Chains A and B, each alone.
Chain A
């Protein structure tokens, strides 16, 4: 039975997916399945010996205070960074959507840190916050104060990590919102101006509802990035003092390589995968529902 030209064309087009599917299978699906498999063992990460321990590693997650602290930190990094990035990103997008001199330069400068490796960004801020020769402490001393251990206290260290991550990736939100703003028809603003609406009212009644798709994209992207945060924490605090600034991602590295508990670290990885998946799905659904309600 001969296949129709249309079916043949469709088959050939589908073949183009193959490289992506192969890469996805090798670098995402296989490690995920292997990780799930490891999470049911007590493997130390290098020995030939390993035993099946069932769900022990998962049950341990519920009683492990270090994991709990890291999970709370992960949410702070994820939601804190997302919130700051949306507020700042939207404000910058609105400001730079106007016909200002030098706006293209300003957009480029704000976006530039996105292109820098988080390790480099973290190192730059580490040098600023460093106790001994950090620029901030030099200012404090010049003003007659005592040096401050900015990264030696969990509260200030977490705040610094959130801020650095937010500042690095605020350019992503700004670009998404700029694209959203430029797709809003100008007639809407003109009509509302004729009806007597001004700045804040227009922003609330036109800009925000019309930006719903941009909100969904920006929030989900930033949230995933924040929940997976690793590099900046490694460079700024290494997860310390103690365990107090670890995210689940940095704790997985520590548990796998330093504590030599590859099985338990894999269970953490699988848990983090589901946590991110669930939050992303919930948020996406909520934001899409809101968009449909408004349309």
Chain B
């Protein structure tokens, strides 16, 4: 009887032990690298990474690279793996390579291609020692996306929208013509968060921004931003399906001219053109709420890849990153990202966005400011930015209460990250 019980107890325990086991590690003489790209399977960058990994494997016998696309919970999954000290050999970091992941990533500033990094990325991607932790595929430069045909049909010239009043006048014209001026979403709610992220740099003075960086929250300019969004909501500038619109819905609305403006990075354009390849789309600088010069947003690699400091095959992973940084490969990746390359040695095809690039970026007339949440808010605030902006657009909170929530989370997370 006793032995039977022992067998039962042992059999019951087997699944527990098996759960802790997983495939991994390398066979003797071969190296298997895990690459969590952070890109969805359908993403053009993911497809390009898969083909580049295959090319690399062909010339590096004994090395195999598992290029794994992201799930919808990529960031949360990565946090769990970091906490469990079970990091992939390489992973996609987008703008968080410095603030969130630098503790776990190998510095890349000693790589041969490091000197070619686009200087526009320095603020967001380098620390005070000049170290950076990810290979940037692109240099993100964003503004307000627009449908050029819709603006032209309503006699609106995007180059002459210099102030927030100009923008609001254009929005009123579009609304009276039956076009939704701004499309955003509370479902794919980063669109809502972007509104605050895009408008905030133009609502704060340099002194106020410096104060935010040092941990003192400035509620007045933040209230101005949320009040502006509340006013736009009151004026009927947002889409009726705000609560339910998906990324595809927004891309379709932009491509088909149902909406004129979207506050989003340029990679939405690739998506929009699949719904209407003939759409004429562009992006323009963001007018400042406080009347200062209009500006572009970005200065980080939206697609950027780093190597785990603790990877047992760190040298092989670094070698693959070097391979990605080669001009031809970096150019192919930057084209897939529809962005300006992260390295000056690469080139890109901006397709339909070339005229916006020439007008607003190459002319060098407009300052490029970093993402507000990345530089002036503590790590972990993005969810608060999104939820509070969503509260305003959906009418669940007033700007004063929303700012109060932002202020509380700011204080808490600033203290935590100190």
Residues of A with Cβ closer than 8 Å to B? 12, 15-16, 18-19, 22-23, 26, 42, 44-48, 60, 63-66, 130-132, 147, 149, 151-154, 238-244, 254, 257-261, 263-264
Contacts and interface: CB of A to CB of B under 8 A. Distances in A.
Contacts of A263: 416
Quick one: which of A147, A152, A261 has the most chain B CB within 10 A?
A152
Contacts of B82: 46-47
A23 B14 CA distance: 12
Given A22-B13, A44-B416, A241 B396 contact: yes
Given A242-B392, A260-B380, A261-B380, 12 more contacts: A19-B12, A26-B16, A45-B83, A46-B79, A63-B408, A65-B404, A131-B240, A132-B249, A151-B244, A152-B186, A257-B79, A258-B76
A258 B412 contact: no
A58 B399 CA distance: 27
10 contacts: A12-B2, A12-B5, A19-B9, A46-B83, A48-B103, A60-B412, A132-B245, A243-B405, A258-B380, A259-B381
User: Which 4 A-B pairs rank lowest in CB-CB distance, beginning with the nearest?
Assistant: A242-B391, A152-B243, A241-B394, A260-B380
Nearest to A44: B416
A241 B413 contact: no
Contacts of A23: 12, 16
B380 to A, nearest CB: 3
A242 B396 contact: yes
Interface of B (DSSP majority class): helix
Given A12-B2, A149-B244, A42 B415 contact: yes
B241 interface: yes
Given A18-B9, A241-B390, A257-B75, A44 B417 contact: yes
B257 to A, nearest CB: 18
A243 B103 contact: no
A242 B9 contact: no
A19 B8 contact: yes
A15 to B, nearest CB: 5
A257 B74 CA distance: 11
B76 A65 contact: no
Contact of B394 (A47, A238, A242, A257): A242
A243 B5 contact: no
Contacts of A63: 408
A62 to B, nearest CB: 13
A46 B83 CA distance: 4
Interface string B395-414: 11100011011001100110
B388 interface: yes
Contacts of A66: 405
Nearest to B76: A257
